[in-house]
Structure 1
Amino acid sequence: MTLKPLQSTLLPKASTLGRLRTATYNIHKGVRGLGPLKRLEIHNLGQGVEALDADMVFLQEVRLFNHREARAFARTTFGWPEGGQADFLAPQGYEVAYRTNAVTRDGEHGNALLSRWPIGDIGHHDVSDHRFEQRGLLHVPVQWNGLEVHTITAHFGLMHASRLRQAARLAEYIAHAVPAGAPVVVAGDFNDWGEKLDGPMADCGLQRAREAGARSAKCLTFPSRVPVFALDRFYTRGLACRSIFVPRGGAWARMSDHLPLVAEFDLD
C-alpha cells in the first residue's frame, strides 16, 4: 500500500536563497515489521525522499540486494526493486553514490548519498570496531555552486567505546583525504544515546548543527513513532546552520524506525 502524498506533513519549502539543503535518513533497509506483519516500505520511502526536496540526502541501512527479502516480496503489488535501493530512491536527475558496509547471509547493506549537484570520486573507509558490527564511511565530494563540499555519510556503532574510536578514525580520515579548510558535512546515524559524542567530534574540528541561538542541538528522531533520542545528526566544518527540523506525522512514523533530519546551511 502506498501512502497519500506527504504535503500534509507541512514540510518547510526549500530556501530560495542559495542555501544548501541536506537531509539524513536511516531507512531501515526499506522494510518494517516482523513475521507475517512485515511490510515493504521502499516505495513509500521514495515519496518521502522526494518530499524532502534536499540538495543532498545522506542514507543509512540501504540495500544493494537481498535475496531473502526479494523472494518474500516478489508477489506483492509493489514488489522488491530490481536494482539497488539507492538508485530506486533517487529523484529524477539526482546522482547516486553507494558503498557496502556489511555483508550478511542473504545480502548486504551500506550508506548512500543522493545529490542534486555533480559528485566526484566516491571513497569508502572501513571503521568497523569489531567483527559483530561492520561499519563504514562514505566520502563523496560534491560541486555545489562552484564550491567543493566534502560529504561523509556515517553510521556509528552501538557501544560508546566503539563510537569514540570511530570518531577518532573519522578525524584521521578527514585529515588524510579532505583538503585543509574545505567545507565538510558529516551526517548519519551516530547511535549516541547518551549525548556524549559532541565533545570528541569537536576535537576533530566538527561542530554539531544547530540553529543560531538554540539552547540545545537535540532534534529527536528515534524511535519514529514516539521519538525520545537524537541519534541522527549533522556535524560540519566551514558551514553555518540556518535551520534544522524533523518531519513529523503518521506517514513518516510508518516508513522507518527513524525519522529524517533536515538542515539548511550557508558558508560560515
Structure 2
Amino acid sequence: MQQVIKVLSYNIHKGMNMSNRKWVLDNIRRFIRKTGADIVFLQEVAGDARRKIDVSQFEYLADSVWQHYAYGKNAVYDAGHHGNAILSKFPFINWCNRDISTNRFENRGLLHGVIASEGKPEQQCHLLCVHLDLFEAGRRKQLQGICRYVQEQIPESAGLIIAGDMNDWLKNASRLLTGQLGLQEAFKVAKGRYARTFPAIFPLLSLDRIYFRNCHLLHCERISLVNEPQLSDHLPLMADFGYR
C-alpha cells in the first residue's frame, strides 16, 4: 500500500515579518498547523530560548502536533543561534547535521533525518533540509558537496526529499541535483516552472525548492498568504508524495 506524506517547506525568517520589525511566530504556528503537513522543513529557525518564548522556536512550532523534530545549529552569535529544523509526525530512525559552510560570513548546514514507512521499517525515506549561500560560487560548492554526501550516505533505492531555501535565483541547482542524483523538482515537474517565493509580498524570485527521488508526486502548490496575517519574507511550498 502506498503511504502519502504531505510536506511543507518554509523559511520563517527567525519568526519576524518581512520588514524584520514585528514578531510573527504565533501567526506562523497557526498557519503551519492549518496546512496539515506531516513533515515541515524549516529554515532560519532560532534554536535558543532567549526571544519572547521559553523554548526554542522549533519546539514552539512543533508543540503537540509534530512530536518528533531535529534541529541543526548553524549560525551562532551573541544573541543566540539559528539554523534548519525538520518537524515530523513520524519518528526519526536517526538524524544528523553536517556543516556545509563555504565562508566565514554564511554559516550553513545540511540537516539529514531518516523516517520509515508505517509498518515497513525497511522502507526508509531520507529528508534533507538546506539553506544555501547567497552567492553562486558558494552554492555550487555546497551543491557539489550535497551530491557527494547523498551518493555516499543514501541508498539509490531509498526515498529522498531535499527541501529548503536554495537561494538559486539563477536556476542552476537542478543541473547538479538532476544530473548527478536523478532528482526532480516538484513544481518543475507539475507546472513546468519553479515556484516564485520571494519576496512574499510580490514574489519574483524562485528561491525555494522541493526535490525528490523514488517518490510519486501527487500534488504541489505555492501557498498564497494574501488572506493571512503578516508572516515571513518567503512564501511556503507544499507537496504531497506517495511512496511504498
Q: When the two structures are superposed, what TM-score results if normalisation uses the length of structure 1?
A: 0.83
1:145-196 superposed Cα distances (whole Å, 9 cap, x missing partner)? 3331000000000011111110111011112222232111000000011112
Q: In structure 2, the residue corresponding to 1:32 is in which secondary structure?
A: coil
Deviation, structure 1 residue 203: 2.2
The equivalent position to 2:11 in structure 1, one of 19, 26, 29, is: 26
Counterpart residue identity of residue 235, structure 2: L
C-alpha contact (below 8 Å) 1:187/1:232 kept by paired residues: yes
C-alpha contact (below 8 Å) 1:247/1:260 kept by paired residues: yes
Q: In structure 1, the residue corresponding to 2:230 is in which secondary structure?
A: helix
The corresponding residue for 2:106 is 133
Residue 154 (1) aligns with residue 126 (2): no
The corresponding residue for 1:63 is 46
- Which structure carries more relative contact order (alpha carbon 8 Å, separation 6+)? 2
The corresponding residue for 2:76 is 103
1:224-248 superposed Cα distances (whole Å, 9 cap, x missing partner)? 1111111111111111222110111
Residue 85 (1) aligns with residue 57 (2): yes
The corresponding residue for 2:145 is 169
Deviation, structure 1 residue 18: 4.0
Deviation, structure 1 residue 44: 0.8
Question: In structure 1, what is the Cα distance between the partners aligned to 2:35 and 2:218?
Answer: 16
What is the root-mean-square deviation in Å for CA atoms of aligned residues?
Answer: 1.9
C-alpha contact (below 8 Å) 1:101/1:134 kept by paired residues: yes
Q: Which stretch of the first structure deviates more once superposed, 84-93 or 220-229?
A: 84-93
State the identity as a percent. 32
Q: Which stretch of the first structure deviates more once superposed, 258-267 or 132-141?
A: 258-267
C-alpha contact (below 8 Å) 1:211/1:244 kept by paired residues: no
Relative to its length, the structure with more strand (as a share) is 2
The equivalent position to 1:220 in structure 2, one of 188, 196, 199, is: 196
Question: In structure 1, what is the Cα distance between the partners aligned to 2:39 and 2:151?
Answer: 23
Deviation, structure 1 residue 251: 4.8
Q: In structure 1, the residue corresponding to 2:72 is in which secondary structure?
A: strand
Q: When the two structures are superposed, what TM-score results if normalisation uses the length of structure 2?
A: 0.91
Question: In structure 2, what is the Cα distance between the partners aligned to 1:46 and 1:172?
Answer: 35
Structure 1: any 5+ residue segments left out of the alignment? 1-16, 71-79
The equivalent position to 2:185 in structure 1, one of 198, 208, 215, is: 208
Q: Which stretch of the first structure deviates more once superposed, 45-54 or 199-208?
A: 199-208
Q: In structure 2, the residue corresponding to 1:138 is in which secondary structure?
A: strand
Q: In structure 1, the residue corresponding to 2:92 is in which secondary structure?
A: coil
Structure 2: any 5+ residue segments left out of the alignment? none
